[in-house]
Structure 1
Amino acid sequence: MAKQSSRFDYSKSRHIPELTVLRAALSDFSYDRHAHEEYAFGVTLAGRQDFFSGGQFHRSPPGNVIQFNPEQVHDGHPGGDSTLGYVMVYVPSAQLEALFADAAGCERAGRFRGSETLLADPELRQAILELVHLMTHQQGTRIDQEHALHRMATRLVQRAGKFQPGGTVSRPDALLLRAKEYILAHPEADLSLDAISQAAHLSKYHFLRLFRQQFGITPHQYVLSCRVNAARSALEAGVVPNEVAFRYGFADLSHFNRRFKRIYGMTPYQYQRSITGRH
């Protein structure tokens, strides 16, 4: 019997348009290493979810929660022979800052970053699944969805214990952060390694070494990830895929299609149609 092909279904919240939900069934698909600009909260529903992040490999059985901070590099594929079923909600930082600060009783906690990538937490799982249900079935009101987000933020802060402001950032981290900011600020430019390493105030050799060591991804892979993320936003705004490909420096539409599909599981046209409801 032929193996079932993978399925991806993206949708937007009717009440909070910045939120995106993915429902996926993977049998024959592996994500390239990439990073999103938003927080991502997922629940494994069936099969096993295997992925690399934070310098190590993780295995998520059904019921587990996966949490990625903004810009956290990861990949993903089914583990074992069973089809992997999971849901993932993508939430921009701006939607969570006040909720994190409130949960921690500290304004600086708005920039909270979770330290756990894989969590066995029924309360957090329930809040994520409630939000997914409200979004995909277009039920409830905006405040119902915000309440589910608040439960998620509160639980993450509770798990982290008392909020501690971040300590001083090490010099290599600060330099790499400069490089990342430069890449994110120039999604349409024809970037060179020289320009990026100069922005980080590093030699090209040290920059390449530190970047790979720190993020588990090459600068080239990261630039592509940034461009695909920017392209995704343009697609959601209704810009046609051909124009998006040209705007963000892809050689042609087929090159854009290949790169986009390896991060989102479908072509830019399919994604746009899925998210905007256009047919």
Structure 2
Amino acid sequence: MNILKILDSLTDDALYTKPLSRNENLSQLSSFGKRTAAAAIPLGLGAFLSGNAKAETKKVETEESLAFKKDALSDALQLALTLEYLEDEYYAKGLAASTLTIPAADKIVFQQIAKHEKAHVAFLKAALTSLGVTPGAKPTFDFTVNGAFNPFGDYQQFLILAQAFEDTGVRAYKGQAGNVMGNKAILQAALQIHSVEARHASQVRRMRMNKGWIELNNGGSMPAATDAVYAGEQNTTQAGFNTATAFGAEAGSASFDEILTGAQATAIATLFID
């Protein structure tokens, strides 16, 4: 099964834009989750990458006009893998925690999101392997940040960190797009994953009774410890045009997600690495 087709189906706008009832929405998420589970099979991913990704990498290494070399590509994938490791383990621990009470309807949503994250980890590991690069080992995570958070005992804190992780992922993937442009196969897949992460973020934000998008640098009732996730989102100038002039600062800033650099994304992830 082609990973691009699977991820493309996961980014169907109908999932979050059609006027569905909550039960219908959850039913669609469940259907997508079944397809994503198949995407997590390394052999399937390896088959996809053995042709397209390797061929594109060879092209990158032989065309001097391309700005980004293999090391930039592999660094971008390693960063993405670290973030996906973090999300994958976070949802797995949350769903398994006997000390955390997740409402039944919300639990179904997180079960599907967890399947997506597992598929993303499998894809990124296979992508790195196809490039001849050893995927980084999964770090040891401390989701309490030395006791500052209690995400597996307090559902509201679980939601807060879920939103922070998803919003970080969206900005980080966008920030690394330039570093994977030399490999069209991986670029296409990475952009698909970015779109999936954006839908995760929108869904989790709405579960916290926030808007599905970020306005200014306000995460929406988020603790100060998450400020780095939203720093820079207040920007309203795009391609030299100040969108606030025409639409107001909130709408202007919400129109575009700002990037996180590799260093910024790493700094955020490092807070949760033991």
Give TM-score scaled by structure 1 length: 0.25
Give TM-score scaled by structure 2 length: 0.25
Between the two structures, name the one with larger relative contact order (CA 8 Å, sep ≥ 6).
2
Identify, as 1 or 2, the structure richer in strand.
Answer: 1
Identify, as 1 or 2, the structure richer in helix.
Answer: 2
